[in-house]
């Protein structure tokens, strides 16, 4: 049975990762670097996507700097902050991310989603983190995606 996304949001806790993050575009031949970065980011948030263009890695500043792989960057976006759901997220909830992104993006903030099996994650500009967190927190008190 599908879960109502608004009900799930009302019960959801959020976690803001304390580190400063970057979204980095790496070429297809950077497999070893991507794996090393993932391994080095123990205890911190890190996300890796491989697609037809190469790798996108969302990694904290200290881990990326320690890897010394800046010469491989094709593009770098940030600084960013990461917000994660921090509670049970039913897999069959539909519209969960849309319910959050409509009011956030509708107010002019970027909150890009990254889905996980047990939690969902969003990254946003470091300068906007307090405003975006306040919007996420308002969801727990009930919200209308039209407000």
Instruction: Give the pLDDT of residue 1.
Output: 53
DSSP-assigned beta bridge partners for residue 16: 83
What is the distance in angstroms between the CA of the first residue and the CA of the last residue of the chain? 28
Instruction: Give the pLDDT of residue 143.
Output: 53
Instruction: Give the pLDDT of residue 147.
Output: 41
Instruction: Give the pLDDT of residue 59.
Output: 97
Instruction: Give the pLDDT of residue 58.
Output: 97
* Residues of the chain under the 50 pLDDT cut: 144-147
Q: Which domains does the chain have, with CATH numbers?
A: 5-139 (3.30.2130.10)
Instruction: Give the pLDDT of residue 145.
Output: 44
Q: Quick: pLDDT tens for 90-130.
A: 777 777 778 888 888 889 998 888 888 788 889 999 999 99
User: What is d(CA 21, CA 120) in angstroms, rounded to the nearest whole number?
Assistant: 17
Contact 113, 87 (CB under 8 A): no
Q: Residue 32, Cβ neighbours under 10 Å: how many?
A: 9
Nearest Cα neighbor of 120 from 14, 11, 7 is 14
């Amino acid at each position: 049975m599908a879960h109502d996304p608004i009900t799930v949001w009302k019960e959801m806790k959020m976690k803001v990762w304390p580190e400063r993050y970057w979204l980095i575009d790496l070429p297809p031949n950077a497999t070893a670097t991507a794996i090393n970065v993932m391994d080095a980011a123990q205890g911190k948030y890190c996300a890796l996507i491989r697609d037809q263009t190469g790798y996108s890695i969302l990694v904290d500043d200290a881990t990326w700097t320690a890897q010394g792989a800046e010469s491989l960057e094709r593009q770098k976006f940030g600084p960013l902050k990461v917000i994660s759901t921090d509670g049970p997220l039913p897999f069959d909830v539909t519209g969960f991310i849309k319910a959050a992104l409509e009011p956030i993006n509708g107010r002019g903030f970027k909150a890009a989603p990254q889905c996980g099996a047990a939690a969902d994650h969003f990254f946003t500009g470091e300068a906007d983190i307090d405003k975006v967190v306040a919007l996420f927190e308002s969801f727990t008190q009930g919200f209308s995606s039209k407000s």
